[in-house]
Structure 1
Amino acid sequence: MNKRMIVVKKGGKKVLRLLEEKLTAPVGGEVKIRVKVAGVSFADLMVREGLYPGIRGPQVTPGYEVAGIVEEVGAAVTGIRKGDAVVALTQIGGYSTHLNVSQERVVKQPPGLDQADAVSMVLNYLTAYQLLHRVARVIEGEKILIHGAAGGVGSALLQLGKLHNLEMWGTASKGKHDLVRSLGGVPIDYNAEDFVNVVTANEGGGVDAVFDPIGGSNWRRSYKALRLGGKVVGYGFSEATTSGHLALLKAVPALLATPRFSFYNMYQENKGMLGYFIWNLNNERPSIYQEDMSKLLSLLEAGKIAPIVSERIPLMDANRAHQILNESRVAGKIVLEC
């Protein structure tokens, strides 16, 4: 039997319930994975709330990423066989004991990896790697600003940025400043400091890239933190939510405050505003996904990156995992053991 957590209603506490169903065999190019761990992400909260783009319908199962062991493969699958340890980008469905996934989204792991570490590569580190190298295209020694630097993607950006000798600042609450420093960043207390003033005071008068998942008016301020030739990369809109829930009293002002960047002004200022949506890029260009995931898993195997796994929670306690993420009580990654 397959066991998976489903959303039984939008919003509130304890909206995830266990569903048991018969296993289905993989067909064609599908791979059946016995899921060992599933990552928990802000995107999962949005799926739970019915706010994630393109995902609607009853009994949806959250879960953007999984790591596990191949149990069976479809007739058209090549290069992957039963018993292989793999990771997969799933978008939904990950909060399960078993999952059939298209081979294009499945990547083999090097031997001996901790499964919680491996699954951390799929969403957090893939996002961070592609923000740096596919979108912003940073150059060794450049200066960057990371919002939410103590979170899953933020801490991944710091680790990957350190490998390229980037000079890094990161916004975080005061209690998480030691973590930001330990990963090579200069912490900025977003409750007490103006990040624009902090980064523009450095030699060069700003940064080459800002990574901003907040949105709204924060994008305008991030743009002001750029120096000549810099770019802001927006990859979320948390300004419109409170504890993982859409907050209309925040969403409407945030949308109204979202800047409309003038191409003419950007052209004159030699600055840019870019966007990133992980699913669209990697679903439409699977070769990029395979290449980048393989690179990250190799870095993990070599010990050059080390994900921060803060909580390992049983699948049945997925509601508790969401509550912890809602309340921003941890730094790093939360995983479900399936």
Structure 2
Amino acid sequence: MDESSHGSGAVASTRLPGAELLCKNRNLKKNINLVPQVNWVSFFEAMHQVAKTHSAKCVRIEAISVMNLILMRNNTYLEKEKFGQALLFDSVVEFIRKESGSAIQKHAVRLLFLILNCPTFFVAFCSGCKEAEANEVGNENVRSAGGFQKFQTILHGLADCLTCSGNGIEELKLRKNTVLLLAFLASSGKAGFEILTSNKLYTYSNFLTLILQVVASELEQEKTVPEPMENLEERALLLREVLILFNRLASHSLYSMTILRVVTNSRDMATLTIDVTNKLCRKNNRNGQLDSKKRKMRESEVVDLAQVFRKRLLSYLGNSIL
């Protein structure tokens, strides 16, 4: 990215030692450690401004990719904390919105994952996602990161990532990466798990309900619309990650009763859960389109995982239900 690609004069005039080398070299991940003299916080801020102000999609994607690489380079907790909560969470808010498009949202999900790997930021995020905690005057973590509304926007952005329009490879990868992020939250303790079961998502009651609705839509898409081979493979990976998440929660000593209650807490919800689970357990009659490797993924992993979850539903609801 040269000066002419920047969206404003202020950003274009930013000169950071080593930045030109880093941006011009295509192998950014390999060469990001070759410029240790860079002020990484200033560089991150500059890339944020480029991505925020530039109208060209390719430039915005490149800038956010560099932001992610900067955080990957600063991999210790203390190194990440020097960027400051406000700057990092503001960046996620800016790029995870539905208006950004799936390609940019995918990088925003990655950015959020890198941020949440720092315990300080993880605590701030989980606290900020609880309105009562965010309104506490003494909650310095939440106040320094911008208050409850910022975190609510991020949650809504994640919901938008799951329900993004389109069924191409880019949208499937975005949904899969979002499920992986939610799985990370769920595996990080009670505060992260509660984010998946909270009732703060537009017209959806919680992330678990939303995920089931997305899976139902994906199964219908696969059944009715001819698709490229790569789409079928990516959808299998998405379904696999969903089932891994649900099985981990349903087998957890502390969370199993909660998740099973959430996905069956009304007649409509129970019907959706049972219908989706049964469809995943059946051999897909379109598997003939898949090569042997993809068929193995679809039949031996997705189907097996679905059968495990189905058994847990049987145990919870009673054998006569399914």
Using CA pairs under 8 Å that are at least 6 residues apart, name the structure with larger relative contact order, 1 or 2: 1
Does TM, scored on the shorter chain, surpass 0.5? no
Higher strand fraction (1 or 2): 1
The TM-score with structure 2 as length reference comes to 0.22
Higher helix fraction (1 or 2): 2
Task: Look at both structures and tell me which one has the larger radius of gyration over its CA atoms.
Answer: 2
